[in-house]
Structure 1
Amino acid sequence: MTQLDRRQLLGGLGAAGASLLTAGGARAQAAAPIRIAVLADFSGPYRDTSGPTAVACVQQAVEDSGLAARGIAVEVIQGDHQNKPDVAMAMSRQWIDQRGVDMICEVNNSSIALALAGLVQEKNKVQMNSGALSAAITGERCSANTIHWTADTWMLANSVGQATVKAGGDSWFLITADYAFGHQMERDLTRFVGTAGGRIVGGTRFPFPGTADFSSFLLQAQSSRAKVVGLLMAGGDMINCIKQAREFGVTRRARLVGIPMFVTDIHSMGLEVAQGLTVCETFYWDMNDRTRAFLERVKPKTPANYPNQEHAGTYSGALHYLKAVADLGAERARASGLEVVQRMKAMPTDDDCFGPGRVREDGRKIHPAHLFEVKAPGESKGAWDYYKLVSSVGAEDAFRPIGEGGCPLVRG
């Protein structure tokens, strides 16, 4: 392990010490509850797309699981990884070795998720990742103890890249976060833009985390004369870059395409800035009666920040994990994370966020993906009414075919 800054590590472990809730609504007296740790960004650029709302969604999953009525206690803890793999790994080891954590979820950083996959396999625990996006997590670097919920770079690049080229955006300049997620997204997007008949005419990478001024990168994009400027970043970085792009006049000549983008980003930017953007999400709170019912249950826990697809995936994955715990029994679930993951793959999924679905052999949870256009201010009926549905892709077509990822867990 690399040498840690002591203040960073203590700060992260201090956050990890904030115990939240058991399935019974108070600290259980049982000797060994099921322990879920939410590993997320609570202070950096991904705070709103991850962070406290992810914790609220796990709390909701605990309540909806019904485990309290069966006498199974569930404890939820949280920790801020600060987007630093060394901090995240030290915290995760401490959780597992000293606090008896059984499942680590959310994660929302690809470098951390890939490293964590090895740790949970070594310790026979579970990673239920909903926020990190690299398709390698269920590809060549898949793990028998990791499940990948919500979205990934292959799905996003396929959906947004091809649709944008077909709409006339056949030349691209890419501004990319310089870490595992950005690198994988570059590769996947380059492939799908090319498949659709477009081309990447240039690109640049920015340091992550810690970049606030995107002016030099945007000037390079302007000079390229590309029809599309692809922003391969998320959260606070995406919001800052889009605002600065409009200030610099980039949008007078080029179309901005953010991959990924979330409803939480749109809320932070406002419709005046975000109108007309194309967004791919696998969940939107106003899709149907079930998604609206989920929102009404979780909204009291997070009234100022509606759940996006990442938050919904954290809920959905945690709920399915707890269903597997109920099916196996708490003692067996605590004894073997591998057995829990195998049961999660064997059981069909169903919840208010995504409806019926399944977890594939490679650990990829599949469900439909949706392309939305952001509404103009005059089209919105109120707060968080931001999306118009453009098209949907079915679950079996939205994600990379299982045989193409190179996951060694896939037979044949």
Structure 2
Amino acid sequence: MRKNFIASVAFLLASGTAVLADGASDGKVKIGILNDQSGVYADFGGKSSVEAAQMAVEDFGGKVLDAPVEIVDADHQNKPDIASNIARQWYDTEQVDAIMELTTSSVALAVQAIGKEKKKIDIVTGAATTDLTGKACSPYGFHWAYDTHALAVGTGGALVKQGGDSWFFLTADYAFGYSLEQQTSDFVKANGGNVVGSVRHPLASQDFSSFLLQAQSSGAKVVGLANAGLDTSNAIKQAAEFGITQGGQRLAALLFTLADVHGLGLEAAQGLTLTEGYYWNRDDESRAFGKKFFDRTGKMPNMIHAGTYSAVLQYLKAIQKAGTDETEAVAKQLHEMPVDDVFGRGGTVGPNGRMIHDMYLLQVKKPDESKEAWDYFNVLATIPGKDAYIDPAKSGCDLVK
């Protein structure tokens, strides 16, 4: 019998048939947080996302399938080539099982392509392009916190309904900016509005004067800022210097988070309408998480931080349920398991890897409305996940039957 067993195993190995082993490979589970830690999006996610990931590991118990869980991190500097080199090194020589966060759409697309090639899981919380679960989808790729479609439905939809039916876009000159402009433009037009023009600016631009003058002269009711992080903050500051809002035009910060409002200050940010997938001061559960996060980082979490916590936690739950950290088995569980945590309440994962959850339409408070530090938003509306995200069947993902 023993000889027959050995012969059977030898046959399976020789024929290339995979043998699924229970438990964690290499005796550990290793998760990489790859994001911008020194540039324009450092406050957007940065080292605070690493802390959020570590919080998830600790809340899970520090182990899965009796194997220790380790978080490693690196700064991709918003450069796809650097991110790709780090991802390959992590996967090929450092036994990293999954890569997460991935701020910057061009980076996320590059790393997801590598994960697809090497059959490794990535869960994106920091990038926005819908291509991740559309034409560039992967059976091992997941998009967690938000995307450009959800932002367009939220912020764009609210302003069109309020009479903002003509738009001019200031757009970051890379995949994220193009996607955000396109999604918002489509939504504006579908609701009877029109786009009178747009201009593209380089990432990490310091001088928006020429772009803002074009927006001002366009006569558009809404100037859509299809950018993020310090680019958005700098554009808002310089718009005030040109008197754009005083002249009757409205600014739409299409990707603006709690961290950005804090950096800009309530005086400058008051009245802005924005969309996030999480707000720390919404209810008792979110407040408890927010304060725990604050004790570690000195700041309240935005949707990228809370989304990273959720992604890591769900990945560990999937390994636990699968009984292995083997990619195919874990990906299957990630697609099938409901998401129910402080971030993704009642969330589901589509066949294209999009995690579908509610989003929140928010308005920045006036300084005299804020009751405590980081109390920055009024919640105007909850946007159901089915409305916020593209139907997987219409996403353009070839995995959707």
TM-score normalized by structure 2? 0.91
Q: Is the 8 A contact 1:147 1:341 kept in 2?
A: no
Query: What value does the CA root-mean-square deviation take over the aligned residues?
Result: 1.3
1:194 and 2:174 are equivalent in the alignment:
no
- 1:369 pairs with one of 340, 352, 359: 359
Q: How far does residue 71 in structure 1 lie from its aligned partner after superposition? A: 2.5
* Partner residue, 1:279: 274
| Alignment match, 1:410 | 400
Offset of residue 38 of structure 1: 0.5
5 Å-filtered alignment, 1:9-408, equals 32-68=27-63, 71-208=66-203, 210-253=204-247, 254-303=249-298, 305-329=299-323, 332-333=324-325, 336-408=326-398
- Distance in 2 (CA, whole Å) between partners of 1:345 and 1:407 is 15
Residue 196 of structure 2 aligns with an amino acid whose one-letter code is V
Which has the larger displacement, 156-165 or 30-39?
30-39
- Aligned partner of 1:10 in structure 2 is none
Aligned partners of 1:75 and 1:307: how far apart in 2? 22
Deviation at 1:362?
0.9
Contact (CA 8 Å) 1:142, 1:363: kept in 2 or not? Answer: yes
Q: Which amino acid in structure 1 is aligned with residue 348 of structure 2? A: R
Shift of 1:67: 4.4
Q: Deviations over 1:33-83 (max 9, x none)?
A: 111110000000100011011001000110111243863201111110000
CA distance in 2 between counterparts of 1:355 and 1:110 reads 25
Deviation at 1:338, TM superposition (A): 2.9
* Comparing 153-162 and 362-371, the one that deviates more: 153-162
Q: Deviations over 1:174-219 (max 9, x none)?
A: 00000000111111111000011111101100012x3111111011
The normalised TM-score by structure 1 is 0.89
Structure 1 range deviating more: 65-74 or 189-198: 65-74
1:250 match: secondary structure:
coil
SS in 2 for 1:154: helix
The equivalent residue for 2:18 is: none
Cα shift at 1:310 = 1.0
Q: Distance in 1 between matches of 2:86 and 2:391?
A: 34
CA distance in 2, matches of 1:70, 1:179: 41
- Matched to 1:206, the amino acid is H
Q: Does the residue aligned with 2:67 lie in a helix, a strand or coil?
A: coil
Instruction: Compute the displacement of 1:397 (Å).
Output: 1.9
Distance 1:244 1:32 in 2: 53
Shift of 1:402: 1.6
Aligned residue pairs, count? 376
Aligned sequence identity (%): 45
> Per the alignment, do residues 324 and 69 of structure 1 end up closer, same or farther by CA in structure 2, a change over 3 Å counting?
closer
Q: Which has the larger radius of gyration?
A: 2
What residue identity is the alignment partner of 1:309?
A: M
- In the alignment, the residues of structure 2 paired with residue 136 and residue 345 of structure 1 have an alpha-carbon distance, to the nearest angstrom, of 18
SS in 2 for 1:92: helix
CA contact (8 A) 1:201 1:224 kept: yes
Q: Which amino acid aligns with 1:56?
A: E
CA spacing shift, 1:268–1:221, aligned 2, 3 Å:
same
Aligned residue number for residue 4 of structure 1: none
The one-letter code matched in structure 2 to 1:372 is L
Report deviation, 1:31.
5.4
Deviation sequence 1:224-255 (CA, Å, 0-9, x none): 11111000111111111101111111111210
Q: Tell me by how many angstroms 1:339 deviates.
A: 2.2
Consecutive unaligned residues in structure 1, runs of 5 or more: 1-29
Structure 1 moving runs of 4+ over 4 Å = none
Contact 1:293-1:352 within 8 A present in 2 as well:
no
